[in-house]
Structure 1
């Protein structure tokens, strides 16, 4: 049984959820920064938060396809769409890229080429070499992936728009199956040596599953299909509680599967996310108040992209400035604090990241989008002919 197609509207719960996802990414980078002196505490923290970033990134990739499809406007053009998306990501990227170079210079960190140029032009995700990801503001690798999404969207939206509503769930299931197959493909076709860090897989395998833009495009397409499912009244009516608990259970399960890390990057949590995102959108369409739709969470969601851009710099160079050797011009500090001190540093870095994100959003992101980033024509949250096709499907 299907419900009536939803009317146009904002999605405050999904906006608030964006900050939760960004905070998950912060948590894994907090673990990787190595702020705890106690080895057991450090290992435990990393064990429980080591997969948090992968969950947050997967959420962002599915959400990107969902929101862009939700907000399609018939009067828009491919060129106009591409211009707005570049204006959305590049100003923040350029500011944080410049900040990274300044901080690298102050700390005598080598600026390597061509890796740094690839980072500047957001091409680094296409190179199966960890050195291309781990330079300048390292989190920008995901923006390199998003660029493929934006480039492909005008073509993808035409293809997704032609799918009959009754076939959308089949399409979503097929794309999900492909996402689940990616780790198996990496294990079967790509070399598993040399092992990357302490893992039992190679960087090439990790890159294929986690970084390779074509592989991550599947999550974007899944988000597009899920948006059409909600827009055409094909959503199954599931509330947010069940998918949220299922996401938590899948994450805990991923923590336990240490011998198969490739599945932890997206495969284990993709089904819960594919249920959670449309459930939140459906709740917003109905006007249901959720813990994520209040004003503070929506504000945090609005600055979440800026938070994502700045948080790794705050963590990395904050540790260098206030760690063992509180001299930002000296060498990188090692683990410096007991457990309370490490937790205090993480809380302070989180607060500093929020403040820096607010400044970046206020001074750069919002003015640019208000001046040059408005789409043409009246708002539409549906695709051409969707009303007709929904009626035909019934």
Structure 2
């Protein structure tokens, strides 16, 4: 973002770009893969690798930035908020519904941890289906609920609510203004976590997860919206004509190097929870570079491994994989090793490896089935209810963010 444009041309706003950014779909799989391994680190930890796997929580940050980017990339000025909201509902709610039902069935059937059930379970289910659970930590924390990953959809619902009102002002900014906005958003995202550490030195590894401040900083839609808006700004700049000066290979190397550095840092004995949270927030910069580089690569017509058919397919299944994998991993850990609680942290052992691999295979197969037989067909039917929807607003499978 080094040049300045006075005003966007009409076509910049009126119609969405038609280039399919397949590399971004491929990247979605790696983000979901990271989240999977972050839960392996909790339920089936492995020696030496666990500190690396914990860093997979940053996959949610990637999804939030990507969501803002792709929604802006497919944005067109004549769209209306009700139509936009319906398309987002069609995209994410059906799979949330079926996996929520599955989670409740597993919990009631004793395949997850013991719970008091009753009113608390009803409240959790209602909050989840209304996608408001991230506003009420009690509705998704502790051993009351099994579907722990669904909190991020509550954040996405809030992002979708504000998107029609923030995207137009942003796409009309000059490139220089976009640079300033991006810098402010990054400062807010990282600064929130730094403030939390400095203002609350009493937080320790033992009480961090029981702290309301932790849930605000990690799960609150308010604390995470800066990541989503950063994606909007990057996409607006690319639509304006800016292209990343960093190639995809370089951006990939920066991302890998960043997490390798954090992994090496993990052996220094620094507080592990702080390390994971630093990765979650600090990764916003490297993810922004990676997304911009991948988009630039696709716009230049260059192929990459990320745009290969296998990775694009996995990227299309990534939303289903994200929702399913914990519901697969916990029953495996429960029956194989007697895990009874989300907070029952076992010692790392290589005996967990075959079970973690089995969980991966089962999760991928189930996500393929959910996407092919339910998620995509239902989305098509729901979208068809929008009469006279502009053709350009209907993306190919996998072209829109699923989170």
Counterpart pick for 1:197 among 203, 206, 209: 206
Distance 2:262 2:164 in 1: 35
* 1:124 matches 2:163: no
Q: Equivalent residue for 1:95?
A: 98
Asked if the contact 1:12/1:284 (under 8 Å) is kept, the reply is yes
Instruction: Give 1:238-277 correspondences, 5 Å limit.
Output: 238-255=246-263, 256=265, 258-259=270-271, 260-261=274-275, 263-277=277-291
Distance 1:171 1:338 in 2: 46
Distance 1:246 1:334 in 2: 32
Counterpart pick for 2:50 among 46, 63, 66: 46
Shift of 1:345: 1.2
Q: Equivalent residue for 1:294?
A: 308
Counterpart pick for 1:77 among 65, 75, 80: 80
Q: Equivalent residue for 1:387?
A: none
Distance 2:127 2:55 in 1: 26
Distance 1:117 1:369 in 2: 22
Secondary structure of 1:266's partner?
helix
Secondary structure of 1:362's partner?
helix
**Which structure 2 segments of 5+ residues have no match?**
6-11, 395-403
Shift of 1:338: 5.5
Shift of 1:197: 3.3
Q: Equivalent residue for 1:178?
A: 188
Distance 1:233 1:301 in 2: 26
Instruction: Give 1:313-352 correspondences, 5 Å limit.
Output: 313-321=327-335, 323-324=336-337, 339=350, 341-352=351-362
Distance 1:143 1:58 in 2: 13
CA distance 1:49–1:262, shift in 2 (3 Å) = closer
Q: Equivalent residue for 1:377?
A: 390
TM-score (norm: length of structure 1)? 0.84
**Which structure 1 segments of 5+ residues have no match?**
382-394
My pick for the range that moved more, 65-74 or 172-181, is 172-181
Instruction: Give 1:131-150 correspondences, 5 Å limit.
Output: 132=141, 135-150=145-160
Asked if the contact 1:28/1:52 (under 8 Å) is kept, the reply is yes
Shift of 1:202: 5.9
TM-score (norm: length of structure 2)? 0.82
Q: How many residues align?
A: 366
Q: Equivalent residue for 2:397?
A: none
CA distance 1:123–1:265, shift in 2 (3 Å) = farther
Over the aligned positions, Cα root-mean-square deviation in angstroms equals: 2.9
